[in-house]
Amino acid sequence: PLDFGHWSAHKLETMSDFSLRHGEAVAIGVAIDTIYSSLV
What is the total count of domains within the chain?
1
Residue range 1-40, pLDDT digits in tens: 678 999 899 999 999 999 999 999 999 999 999 999 999 8
Q: Which residue from 2, 3, 5 is spatially nearest to 35, judged by alpha carbons?
A: 5
**Is residue 1 in some structural domain?**
no
**Is residue 33 in some structural domain?**
yes
**Is residue 35 in some structural domain?**
yes
- The number of helix segments (H) and strand segments (E) in the chain equals 2, 0
Q: Which amino acid is at 15?
A: M
pLDDT at 1: 60
pTM score, two decimals? 0.81
